[in-house]
Amino acid sequence: MSGPIVLIIGAGDYIGAAIAKRFAHGGFTVCMGRRNGDKLAPLVAEIEAEGGTAIGYTLDARDEDSVMTVFKQIEDEVGPIETVIYNVGGNVRFPILDTTARVFRKVWEMACFAGFLSGREAARYMVPRERGNIFFTGASASMRGNSGYAAFSAGKSGLRALAQSMAKELGPKNIHVAHLVIDAGVDTAFVRDRMAQAGHDPDTLPKDTLMNPTSVAEAYWTLQHQTRDAWTFELDLRPYGERW
């Protein structure tokens, strides 16, 4: 394969897809993983139709064997991974009395544990090469808890601490670890449905109130090209009208 390789873990239909298309446009070979790899076929076809190179994988980021297998397959068959972007979500609302042990564990696995597996496996390959980038997608919940989001906040704040620890350990080894805080409602079908259920019409919002997934992709593209004398660990993004 020509061009550097990026692996996007959690390549969903919005932010993940936007990141994939941005990196493909920039000349990267784009490897993408999600639990149902078949769902990546339209995105792979779109990238290839525009002259890019993309490969989809079935990857359960919560399963250690699955993570290790996909990393090895890419390294063996495609080439050395330059950048890993962990973009798995888990943003669900459960009042504390409705949060079962199973729910809490599953949300934590998606938001935090799977990030550990992905970050550790990336480091296994990057440390010997003494280069690479490992980026994590965070949320408002990474910075503060909120009513109904105990599980999600615990998971995302844990992911942030993981990323910070990795950045301090791996930075001197020439590996850039960064954490992106998305402090916003992103313009997705999921967010629009939640707004509608709450009695708000998302189509009446002022322009740029919801964050465009392509804006997130551009932020990651910026992180990718930072020189190591001025690496960013944490980059927070929010729309102009967001209260914080």
Mean pLDDT value of segment 192-215: 88
For residue 134, with 0-12 CB atoms within 10 Å meaning exposed, 13-18 middle and 19 or more buried, which class applies? buried
What are the residue boundaries of the structural domains of the chain, listed by start? 5-237
Residue 197 has pLDDT above 90, yes or no: no
Average pLDDT score, the chain: 94
| Tokens matching residue 174 | 């020439």
- pLDDT value, residue 160: 98
User: Residue 198 in 3-state DSSP?
Assistant: coil
Count of beta carbons in the 10 Å neighbourhood of residue 165? 12
Residue 10 has pLDDT above 70, yes or no: yes
Residue 131 has pLDDT above 80, yes or no: yes
Mean pLDDT value of segment 61-89: 97
The dihedral through the CA atoms of 30, 35, 36, 39 has a sign that is negative
| Tokens matching residue 171 | 């930075």
| Tokens matching residue 70 | 């996909």
The dihedral through the CA atoms of 170, 171, 174, 178 has a sign that is positive
**What does the pLDDT look like over 31-60, one tens digit per residue?**
999 999 999 999 999 999 999 999 999 999
CATH superfamily of 5-237: NAD(P)-binding Rossmann-like Domain (3.40.50.720)
Residue 1's pLDDT band, with cuts at 50, 70 and 90, is low
Residue among 172, 114, 167, 134 nearest 6 (CA): 134
Mean pLDDT value of segment 98-114: 96
